[in-house]
A and B are shown apart, each in its own frame.
Chain A
Amino acid sequence: MVAVPKQEDMLSLVEEAVGFASKNGADEAEAYLYQGLTTNVSIERGQIARSSRIIDQGLGVRVIVNKAVGFSYTNMLENKAIVEETILKALSFAKASKRDENWHSLPAGRPSASVEGTYDGNVVELRSEDLVKLASEMLDAAENKDKRVFPIEGGVGASHLSHAIANSSGVANFDQGTIIECNLAAIGQEKGEVTPVCFEFNAERSCSINPQWVGDEAARLAISALGAKKVETKATTVIFTQFALQQLLYFTLINAVKADYVQRNQSAFKGRIGEKVASENVTIYDDGLCRGGLRTWKFDGEGVPQQKTVIIEKGVLCNFIYDDYTAKKEGRDSTGNATRAGYLSTPNVEATNFHLMAGNKSPEELISEMGEGLIVYYLQGAHSSNPASGEFSVVATPAWKIRNGEVTYATRGAMLTGNVFHVLKNISALANNERKVGQLIAPWVLVRNVKVIGK
């Protein structure tokens, strides 16, 4: 394994890059260095078939000349001439670009936030043998469940990520973290019937994943998805599990609270701070500091400390999320929500850990309370939602019919249509089973009056 980079080496590289840019004509400059080491063991069609190691590192440099922004990146860090050429290219692109009258400045240096549970040395030490063992536990759990289960793909991955950022306004920060993840997709097969893909996963910042549970749960879903039936067209009550909720919110609500969407008239929430936009039991934080959160870091993609921001409190819209540019446009402070795709991109406004607060009902209580309806695990086609209006028209698959307070049979091809902003107002209960799925931390939610199009 390649040596884990040292904090001082990474910081000196970004500081040198900022110095070189400033010396060569940048009014302002920022350099971001990223290194990711990832080891994976992959399952394909019922067996562990491959293992991989990916080492990716690179430098992204943003410069401002006469209020115009240029950016350039390279991953050829061993070659000093190319690094300098990259910085000069960012400068020439800034000069070729157009002046942005709204450009104010890069963020000033502030102390990093303190975070917990984001780094575990044991993850860094894991060898592919260890990952094979974890993957085997997951695979065995799925295959031992039932012979109708076919684990089609999945795996275990361990990553060590480090990044450093410096700018000409005094930012100089370093952070590192670990992520370990296992996932399994399985289908159920019986007498010519194939179920939709049933997926389960577990990602953590420390060595605390439970591959057996993942294998067992993916298999349980696949078996129970057999024997699917069509449903009637009508408005019904729906429980969205975390995966379905994440898909639904990612393309709609999360965009609607980003300051750039609001400022650009692309958000239905524009001008509605202080209004009731969701049912009373909905409280959402964007929590960049949440212990062990998958997106918890000391600082964001511009070096601004991450923070906890209340988005919706008891149904009332409280705040939007900002990067430094959109914040300065409104004369306020960034909420630490600038995200980068590693070294390959300039920062963009993005949620950190989007935390929908749990309720107090057990999942069983939620199911028994609803009486009749659907429980939906995944949505197909959520990315085709109208991102501006929040309107969606998606397939719920796999999903199960609930009758008399019990999960009965799997449903086939049920479409759900509606508007995510109506969904928020119709959330009538939340379970107490919150978990992390991508950038979302949420429990199951019970939503009244969702239009289902069936036969």
Chain B
Amino acid sequence: MKEVLIKAVDAAQKFGAEYVEVRFEKLLKTMLTLKEGRVEAAKQGIENGAALRVLVKGAWGFASVGILNTETLTSAVLDACKMAKVASSRLKAPINLVKTKAVEDKVVVKSLKDPSKIPVEDKISMALTMNNIILGYDNRVKSCTVDYLDLIGTNYFLSSEGTYIEQEKLYVLSRITATAIEAGIFTFSREEIGSTSGYEIFDVETPEIVGEKVAKRAVEQLKAKSPKGGTYPAVLGPNVVGVFVHEAFGHLAEADLTLSGSILLSKLGKKIASDVVTFYDDGTINGAFGSSKYDEEGIPTQKTLLVKDGIVAGLMHSRETAHKFNTTPTGNMRAESFRVEPIIRMRNTFMEPKDHSFEELVSDIRFGYYLKSFRGGQANLDGTFQVGIQEAYEIVNGEVGEPVRNASISGNTLETLLKVDAAGKDFRLWPGRCGKGQTAFVCDGGPHVRIKEVLVGGSA
């Protein structure tokens, strides 16, 4: 393996590349989709491929091929070099990489239950159990989809600077959705399970626990009312706090987006949030969905402080952006597969818990909303965020009241972070998938959090 990669790196260096990296990936996937208990197909994928990235005259060249032999790789890497050279013709500011230490390592995944050793029949039966619990929960639950994916593989990374890493990877993931119908009202409920530890995640997130949660939410939403649109105090659950930290703040702190004009660029070292706000991105949490020992530039992952007591303390960096900011890379360069270049991505992003109980957070609110679980979120460089909510309740006179359907919250990140006035002592991380052109597996989370006021969009 290593021999073939070395030849490709040598060929690019002879061409005159300043930097060369070859990433070879081997993957085995098992996938299932069940719709109302019907196994649509039991699926497997075997794939491998190489991603070749070179820096020539200050511009990037990239090639991806699915065939691994010396001839194909060498021709692909030279192709990448030539393309980089062509691209460099219009360069104003050549790209530089910050210097890093060369690493040699071999990373082995240790799981209690290796998904590749579990017969597909068992996975089907687990998904069927989930399905049966959901459809059996209440006759108003009309449909249920269970998607399952496990992926095991190995990445081989070699750079012209002497780094060579063999890193195994493992992901187990399931997405469960259900709809319920009554009197012309449609509700939709979703949960995701994701882990890098192994199939043992289903011993904790059992089909019974997850199935009931999905079905119960779909049914309870049937009697929910639409929120009143307007500005209200709100308590966000850890699941919503997570997506808020990720979408409203996290993307702006990905240094490529910061440089692209995100509102954080002028705020480094400045106070942007209330004192209770401390954010981290951490790639080292054992088993968490966004964890990995090294990133796709061969940089070790780390726990990165992003906001400390309301002050912007750091960003997530590649070697390229670290050079621009005169700092160190943070292990956040990730690629969905060998078909694409690595870009800066979050890993496990969260808010640090504080000291309030849930009751204390809710007790002072005369009228507001408890936003417990999200459906989706999105942010913009100007700091405009939107988080759609799949489970919410009114807060009336200090107590959680009736359920509310299809709410969403929106606002400007910087204005909203200053309005965060208390955080709970609880903490939870939730797995999810983030889209930034490519999909990345991530976690996000935090404690329960109170916001003095936020714009709530109703559907009435």
Contact = CB atoms under 8 A, between A and B. Distances in A.
Interface of A: 39, 41, 44-58, 62, 68-78, 82, 85-86, 89-90, 93-94, 96-98, 100, 102, 127-129, 132, 135-136, 139, 150, 152-153, 187, 189, 192, 194-197, 233, 260, 264-266, 268, 344-346, 380-381, 383-389, 391-395, 397, 412-413, 415-419, 451, 453, 455
Given A58-B47, A71-B43, A93 B120 contact: yes
5 contacts: A45-B260, A53-B83, A187-B260, A197-B380, A266-B186
Contacts of B162: none
B378 A383 contact: yes
Contacts of B261: 150, 152, 187, 189, 194
Interface stretch (B60-68, B207-215, B302-310, B348-356): B60-68
A178 to B, nearest CB: 19
Contact of A384 (B86, B339, B376, B455): B376
B143 A51 contact: no
B303 to A, nearest CB: 28
Given A194-B263, A265-B179, A389-B186, A380 B384 contact: yes
A105 to B, nearest CB: 15
Contacts of B93: 47
Nearest to B260: A152
Given A50-B59, A69-B41, A393-B406, A415 B259 contact: no
Q: Which 9 A-B pairs have the closest CB atoms?
A: A384-B388, A384-B376, A381-B386, A50-B60, A388-B186, A51-B83, A52-B62, A389-B186, A393-B408
A97 B44 CA distance: 12
Interface string B96-127: 00000000000000000000000111001000
A89 B44 contact: yes
B382 A196 contact: yes
A195 B377 CA distance: 19
A51 B64 contact: no
B87 A41 contact: yes
Contact of A73 (B47, B179, B374): B47
Given A69-B40, A98-B39, A233 B230 contact: yes
B381 A196 contact: yes
A153 B407 CA distance: 32
A265 to B, nearest CB: 4
B36 to A, nearest CB: 7
Interface in B344-402: 374-389
Given A49-B87, A93-B44, A265-B143, A393 B407 contact: yes
A93 B87 contact: no
Contacts of A51: 59-62, 83-84, 86-87
Nearest to A192: B266
B119 A78 contact: no
A47 B407 CA distance: 41
B146 to A, nearest CB: 13
A388 B378 contact: no
A210 B268 CA distance: 39
A393 B382 contact: no
B153 to A, nearest CB: 13
Contacts of A48: 59, 87, 90-91
B375 A388 contact: no
Contacts of A93: 41-44, 120
Contacts of A413: 384, 410-412, 455
B185 interface: yes
Nearest to B341: A52
Contacts of B460: 417, 451
A102 B455 CA distance: 47
Interface string B139-159: 000110000000000000000
Contacts of B83: 39, 51-53, 128
A87 B384 CA distance: 49
Nearest to A56: B339
Nearest to A98: B39
Contacts of B49: 75
Contact of A58 (B66, B84, B229): B66
B376 A50 contact: no
B457 interface: yes
Query: How many B residues touch the partner, as a band?
Result: 35 or more
Contact of B36 (A264, A392, A393, A455): A264
B44 A72 contact: yes
Interface string B241-275: 00000000000000010011111001000000000
Contacts of B376: 381, 383-384
B95 interface: yes
Contacts of B185: 389
Contacts of B408: 381, 384, 393-394, 415, 417
Contacts of B39: 68-69, 97-98, 100
A54 B65 CA distance: 6
B349 to A, nearest CB: 19
Contact of B48 (A73, A75, A150): A75
A71 B3 CA distance: 34
Given A68-B39, A264-B35, A266-B179, A74 B47 contact: yes
B187 A415 contact: no
A29 B340 CA distance: 31
Nearest to A62: B41
A397 to B, nearest CB: 5
Interface in B424-460: 455, 457-460
A76 B67 CA distance: 7
A260 to B, nearest CB: 8
A389 B48 CA distance: 41
Contacts of B80: 52-53
B188 interface: yes
B274 to A, nearest CB: 20
Contacts of A195: 382
B92 A47 contact: yes
A55 B83 CA distance: 15
Contacts of A96: 42, 119-121, 124
Given A128-B86, A196-B384, A264-B143, A75 B47 contact: yes
Contacts of A58: 47, 66
Contacts of A384: 374-378, 386-389, 408
Contacts of A75: 47-49, 66
Contacts of A70: 41-43
Given A389-B185, A389-B186, 12 more contacts: A41-B87, A51-B83, A72-B46, A128-B82, A132-B89, A189-B261, A192-B266, A196-B384, A386-B186, A389-B406, A395-B410, A417-B229
Contacts of B119: 96
A446 B168 CA distance: 53
B62 to A, nearest CB: 4
A187 to B, nearest CB: 5
B181 interface: yes
B2 interface: no
B38 interface: yes
A385 B46 CA distance: 35
Interface string B165-187: 00000000000000101000111
A98 B256 CA distance: 47
Given A384-B377, A389-B188, A53 B63 contact: yes
Contact of B43 (A44, A78, A346): A346
A77 B410 CA distance: 48
B406 to A, nearest CB: 4
A266 B384 contact: no
B79 interface: yes
A424 to B, nearest CB: 16
A284 B93 CA distance: 48
B457 A98 contact: no
A271 to B, nearest CB: 12
B459 A453 contact: no
